[in-house]
Amino acid sequence: MPRHLLRDDDLSPADQTAILDLADALKADRYAQRPLAGPRPIAVMFDKSSTRTRISFEVGISQLGGQPLIVDAQASQLGRGETIADTARVLSRYVDAIVWRTGDQSRIDEMAAAATVPVVNALTDQFHPCQVLADLQTIRERFGRLAGLTLTYLGDGANNMAHSLLLGGATAGMHVRVCAPEGFTPDEEVLRAAKDRAADTGGGVELIADPHAAVDGVDVIVTDTWVSMGQEADGLDRAAPFRPLQVNAELLARADPAAIVLHCLPAHRGDEITDEVLDGPQSAAWDEAENRLHAQKALLTWLLSR
């Protein structure tokens, strides 16, 4: 059975550390290791827009000596109703791994259930585990450790980034706080899974409604768009409830003076984050974006060497 990365808690704490260690090694010399030389083909499929994920997977697979096949999934037969399971069976005969950005998590679960090669979640409505590996790499390079640090996510607590930070952060032994408006709090199953994981790793999980209390003395502040892909026309009023959660200089001043700020990007400047913070000295968002490349190369190397 191949290993997959469908959600962050598919990785044990030891798996996560092994991948992050490899990511650091690959970052030190991005052309040194070519474990996919052959070149081994990997399909990278998109049902939704992407800049970072698309380019970093394409570049990363090439640097590993592999052959990236970037597929607009909606222009494939999937878009005309071929089943996910049949697609998985066929792709498994051609490629060594399937990376997919799609909508509901049930779609990627279905792909993994029928695939005989590793399947990687490149973002679903519920999780964004590749992003959070890059986030953890970025935090670890700034602080030298993950366990024991406190991270606060402010924004849509029910979106992919909130869920992945809960699971990935708890796996790393971090204390993860989520500050979200009423009606936008995390999925109960994800919260329970994150709490269980945190109980094993010495981390913690907390929901804190007041943004000032949520960032008090923390090491890492993370935010994300208030409107995720696919939610543009859902008719929910986000501006009013989310405005008090904006990451601005006044909010940042309440965190630890050495705190860093992460944003997976793309940013909606002036909404969830101000220019001053995103472009300021405590922003690690550009390193975070770069680390997508290294973390995903490490993930693919790790998955394909098993």
CA gap 301, 64 in Å, rounded: 8
# residues contacting ligand CP (CB under 6 A): 8
The site string for ligand CP over 242-281 (x = CB under 6 A, - otherwise) reads: ----------------------xx----------------
CA gap 166, 164 in Å, rounded: 5
Q: Is 229 annotated to bind ligand?
A: yes
Q: Which is nearer to ligand NVA, 127 or 302 (CB)?
A: 127
Question: Catalytic residue among 264, 271, 294, 296, which?
Answer: 264
Q: Choose the contact partner of 228 out of ligand CP, ligand NVA, none; CB within 5 to 8 A by kind.
A: ligand NVA
CA gap 56, 60 in Å, rounded: 6
| Span of 22-30, 49-57, 152-160, 213-221 interacting with ligand CP by CB under 6 A | 49-57
CB 183 within 8 A of CB 146: no
CB 247 within 8 A of CB 154: yes
Number of other CB atoms surrounding residue 239 within 10 Å: 9
Neighbouring C-alpha atoms within 13 Å toward the C-beta of 293: 20
- For the question of residue 292 being annotated catalytic, the response is yes
Residue nearest to ligand NVA (CB): 228
| Span of 142-150, 153-161, 167-175, 189-197 interacting with ligand NVA by CB under 6 A | 153-161
Going by C-alpha positions, the residue among 214, 293, 267, 299 that lies closest to residue 29 is 293
Q: Within 18-77, which residues bind ligand NVA (CB under 6 A)?
A: none
Q: Which is nearer to ligand CP, 254 or 269 (CB)?
A: 269
> What are the strands, taking DSSP E only, across the chain?
41-46, 67-72, 97-101, 119-121, 150-154, 175-179, 204-207, 220-223, 260-263
Residue 52 C-beta: closest distance to ligand CP, Å: 4
* Terminal C-alpha separation, the chain: 10
| 108 in contact with ligand NVA (CB under 6 A) | no
| 51 in contact with ligand CP (CB under 6 A) | yes
Strands lying side by side in the sheet with 67-72: 67-72, 41-46, 97-101, 119-121
CA gap 138, 205 in Å, rounded: 20
Q: Is 179 annotated to bind ligand?
A: no
Q: Choose the contact partner of 51 out of ligand CP, ligand NVA, none; CB within 5 to 8 A by kind.
A: ligand CP
Q: Is 93 annotated to bind ligand?
A: no
- For the question of residue 142 being annotated catalytic, the response is no
Q: Is 51 annotated to bind ligand?
A: yes
| 224 in contact with ligand NVA (CB under 6 A) | yes
Q: Which of 63, 126, 137, 159 binds ligand NVA (CB under 6 A)?
A: 159
Q: Which is nearer to ligand NVA, 25 or 229 (CB)?
A: 229
Burial-class residue 81 by CB neighbours within 10 Å (0-12, 13-18, 19+): exposed
CA gap 164, 190 in Å, rounded: 9
User: Which residue numbers belong to the known binding site for carbamoyl phosphate?
Assistant: 50-53, 77, 101, 128-131, 264-265, 292
- Name the site residues for ligand CP (rule: CB under 6 A): 50-53, 123, 131, 264-265
- Name the site residues for ligand NVA (rule: CB under 6 A): 123, 159-161, 224-225, 228-229, 264
Residues annotated catalytic, as ranges: 101, 128, 131, 224, 264, 292
